[in-house]
Amino acid sequence: MAEAADHQGSYHQEMHISWEEFHRDARALAEMLKDREWKGMLAITRGGLGPATVLSRELDITHVDTICITSYDHQDQGELQLLKSISLEDGGEGWLVVDDLVDTGKTIQLVKEILPQAHVAALYAKPKGEDMADTYLTRVDQKCWVFFPWEE
């Protein structure tokens, strides 16, 4: 992680993830999730689409859908907007919900209100939100802005 220019007063570090690092980390997350039988997967768009692609192949999950929630305007987190929801039987039990990063946990909190039984996994988690993820691969400093390969 490199020290960075102050992103509008909030972020003091940057982490740039290459395609190779992203793929390696997504496969490592899949390894952590492979011992369960999944009914399907939900990607939280847009960030969860990349990890969902790799995880769906690694875990052989063919039923993949999306739940669309937005909260960012560039690097400023604002109010959550639920753009597309989903209704699943049993509160989402047996379903895997995937995102790239858990930051404050607000997005995951909304997902858990809609699908309280679903399992939430993320590649990366920041301290304020890590307790909301059921599984995550790597902890990232709260003041770090993560740049994913599809953003550069």
Query: How many distinct structural domains can be found in the chain?
Result: 1
pLDDT number for residue 152: 74
Determine the pLDDT at residue 77. Answer: 59
Q: What's the pTM?
A: 0.84
CATH number of the domain that residue 133 is part of: 3.40.50.2020
**Average pLDDT per consecutive 10 residues, the chain (152 residues; last block may be shorter):** 45 91 98 96 93 97 91 62 75 94 92 94 97 97 93 80
As annotated, the active-site residues are: 99-100, 103
Q: Is 13 a domain residue?
A: yes
Residue 6: per-residue pLDDT: 41
For the chain, give the secondary structure using H, E and C: CEEEEEECCCEEEEEECCHHHHHHHHHHHHHHHCCCCCCEEEEEECCCHHHHHHHHHHCCCCCEEEEEEEEEECCEEEEEEEEECCCCHHHHCCEEEEEEEECCCHHHHHHHHHCCCCEEEEEEECCCCHHHCCEEEEECCCCEEEECHHHC
**Residue 1 is assigned to a structural domain of this protein:** no
For residue 16, the model assigns a pLDDT of: 96
Q: Classify residue 77: in a domain, yes or no.
A: yes
Confirm whether 116 is domain-assigned: yes
Is position 64 within any domain?
yes
Q: Which domain holds residue 123?
A: 6-151
